[in-house]
Structure 1
């Protein structure tokens, strides 16, 4: 069984199962389709909380490439999943599904820049703050309730 930890801004979305995916850097072992995943907030801290019971099941794991640039108004230059580049509208839908919908991110975006934006903008600003600009290669892990 594989465990993933989420920032507090995603806790409610994960626990309510409105967020059913996560983007992670490559590591030794990710969840495999059909395997249960444990989803936490604050893992390895005294404030650790398990977000979903029973554990959801991994449905897919696909390679993802995200390219960001501070020269673009929305930060995200491109996203490719399993080798297929997403269209502009698909990037917006992907960012919303990943927890960056305008109604979901709380006040994080205001703290960062004092601006509001689209789900793509929110994801891009978050991504640049957390990962820096440029190329990111990793995995998209998706799950469904058990």
Structure 2
């Protein structure tokens, strides 16, 4: 017999490290799960983004694609610089501090300027998508998401067998 359950996903978006945890609502054991592929269930708060060819945000460029997040973003960025392919990519680190300073724009590692809200939104999107992928790898039946405010998934429903 199948029963529908809801999953709560918590995102820890930190200045230097980020992660996620999740739990099944109604789980009598109240277990909390996380991504054990990362050190201490977290990874670096770094995001590698692809941009269009027009320069920085003030010059008209848009961040158009999430390439990688975390330690892998840093590794891949260094690799691209060594191969001289870095001009179309921007790496952001410690950008959460711009919120504390009430900034609207943030600089990438290379010094290009982009909208802070775009960088943070893409970071949260990547963490959410990674959490959903992780959950889907650990359960028998894929989860379905319910759209919530601002287009974010507000609740995840899972049909678990057994």
TM range (shorter): under 0.3
Larger relative helix fraction: 2
Q: Which gives a bigger RCO, structure 1 or 2 (Cα 8 Å, sep 6+)? A: 1
- Structure number with larger C-alpha Rg: 2
From the two aligned structures, give the one with the greater strand fraction: 2
| TM-score of the superposed pair, with normalisation by structure 1 | 0.27
